[in-house]
Chains A and B, each alone.
Chain A
Amino acid sequence: MTKTRKAVALISGGLDSMLAARLIKDQGIHVEGINFFTGFCVEGHTHAIRRGHHDKPKRNNALWSAEQIGIKLHIVDVIDEYKDIVINPKHGYGAHLNPCLDCKGFMVRKAREWMEQNDFDFIITGEVIGQRPMSQRRDTMPVVARESGAFDRLLRPLCAKLLPETLPEREGWVERDKLLDFSGRNRKPQIALAASFGFSEYAQPAGGCCFLTDENYTLRLNDLWSNRGDKRYELDDILLLKIGRHLRPRPNFKLIVGREEGENNFLNGYRRDFTHLFCVSHAGPLALVDGIANDADLDFAARLLARFGQGRSADKVTVEIHPHGGAARTIEVAPLHPDEIPESWYL
């Protein structure tokens, strides 16, 4: 009896990995998906939190796409291991703080380890030559295969015909003729293939699936690192960078101000860990204070916070201040005028 071969597919939640997995499943291979959670995945976090984003489905797209293909998905927490990739990328950063080549090598390595532990035969990814400037180039694809230790057990079905034969092709586990030759940034071939599979809905994140490619997000992360004096982070740090307005009116502290109900609810969950303040005389947001702020700083923070509530035009508003580990106090303040809030405070 012929042995059923098994492939583990890196599933990001985007279209390409979905197509690659489906192509290989259609060749009679047992495919299971794997998705690595780094903490920087875009994956609908802000949509999940913000109440106003009704147009965006509140779901994990990797899970959703695995279900469309009819495969199991294993979601693996790699938050701690991934820190070294973000902080010390061997191949450097892209346009922002995106360590794309190191990241791809890391994920394929983790998939290779999973493959070996679970007695699978090869790894597939949705990579396309020339689609990404760092990790998906003809000259960097072999780097990923080599540094991950996957070597010729790494198959890229969407562009395999443009690459040297891999083990699954040589051994006849998959037919090379049925693999594809996509290249470049043109998405039309993928969209046509999706239509042929009957996939009418799929995620197409414009800026990629990682917050580290986002200019505003990386500005906040750089601010966090420079104010701490070293490049380190915890999960809560990087989640909070995704939420709310961030303003740094003084070098020693910044304010994180909810922009709407969903964000305020989310920030509310952090009240015990942070000094926080909110307006009690008018409706308005909750703000967390990140850093070390003295009483004068907090009085000023109250004026700044008041600018974002419904009392912004009032002469005075009442703000409740809850210092972390200290006694709450209430003060009356005049909201800051817009002219008193320089653009440079916004992160």
Chain B
Amino acid sequence: MKHHELDARRLLCPLPVIRAQNRVMELEPGDTLEVICTDPGALYDIPAWCRMYGHKVLDIRQTQDEVRITLRVGAPPDRP
């Protein structure tokens, strides 16, 4: 299990989610990814996207200028 960082500063919704989505596809279940954003929309969007795909949000930290969201990658989704 590895820890990774994704710099999504300056990107506006939904680009932080798109970048996170694309990065997670390259990672293994159990890996963690810290996404660093400046768009406060990420506070809703990334956790919503994680709920949808079975990834777990481990930590959310917000400062004046940045949002840092750490997630743990879940198992690949099931499809019929």
Contact of A6 among B9, B15, B43, B80 (CB under 8 A): B80
Please give the number of chain B residues whose Cβ is less than 8 angstroms from any Cβ of chain A in the complex. Answer: 25
Closest to A64 in B: B48
B40 touches A72 (CB 8 A): no
Q: How far is the CA of A66 from the CA of B45 in the complex (A)?
A: 12
Task: Decide: A66 and B44 in contact? CB cutoff 8 A.
Answer: no
Given A67-B52, A72-B77, residue A58 in contact with residue B44 (CB < 8 A): yes
Q: Which residues of B contact A59 (CB under 8 A)?
A: 13, 41, 44-45, 48
Nearest B residue (CB) for A119:
B79
* Chain A residues with CB below 8 A from B9, complex form: 269
Chain A positions near chain B (C-beta within 8 angstroms)? 4, 6, 30, 35, 37, 41, 43-45, 48-49, 57-60, 62-64, 66-67, 72-77, 239, 265-266, 269-270
Say how far A43's CB is from chain B's closest CB, in angstroms.
6
Closest CB pairs A-B (n = 5): A59-B44, A4-B80, A48-B41, A269-B10, A58-B41
Flag if A60 contacts B14 (CB, 8 Å). Answer: yes
User: A314 to B42, alpha carbons, bound, how many Å?
Assistant: 40
Interface hits, B1-26 → A, CB 8 Å: 9-10, 12-15, 17-18, 21
- List chain B residues, Cβ under 8 A from A239: 12
Give every chain B residue within 8 A of A76 (Cβ-Cβ): 18
Q: How far is the CB of A5 from chain B (nearest CB, A)?
A: 9
- A45→B38 CA distance, assembly (Å): 12
Hey, which chain A residues are within 8 Å of B39, CB to CB? 48-49
Pick the residue among B38, B48, B52 that contacts A269 (CB under 8 A): B38
Query: In the complex, which residues of chain B have a beta carbon less than 8 angstroms from the beta carbon of A64?
Result: 44, 48
Are B14's CB and A35's CB within 8 A? yes
Expressed in whole angstroms, the minimum distance between the Cβ of A215 and any Cβ of chain B is 22
Residue in chain B with minimal CB distance to A51: B40
The complex places the Cα of A75 from the Cα of B46 at a distance, in Å, of 12
A60 in contact with B13 (CB, 8 Å): yes
A45 CB contacts on chain B under 8 angstroms:
12-13
Verify A75–B18 contact, CB threshold 8 A: yes
By a CB distance below 8 angstroms, the chain A residues around B77 are 72
From B18, B38, B53, B79, contact of A77 by CB (8 A): B18
Task: Note all chain B residues with C-beta closer than 8 A to A269.
Answer: 9-10, 38
Q: Is the CB of A75 within 8 A of B21?
A: yes
Interface readout for B64-80 with A: 1 if CB under 8 Å, 0 if not? 01000000000001011
> Is there contact, CB below 8 Å, between B80 and A43?
no
B17 and A63 contact, CB distance less than 8 A: yes
CB contacts (< 8 Å) of A66 on chain B: these are 52
> Considering the chains assembled together, what is the distance between the CA atoms of A326 and B10 in angstroms?
23
Contact at A63–B15, with CB atoms within 8 Å?
Answer: no
CA A48 – CA B43 in complex, angstroms? Answer: 11
Which residues of A sit under 8 angstroms from B79, Cβ to Cβ? 6, 30
| Contact present for B18 and A48 (CB under 8 Å) | no
Contact of A58 among B14, B43, B80 (CB under 8 A): B43
B80 touches A48 (CB 8 A): no
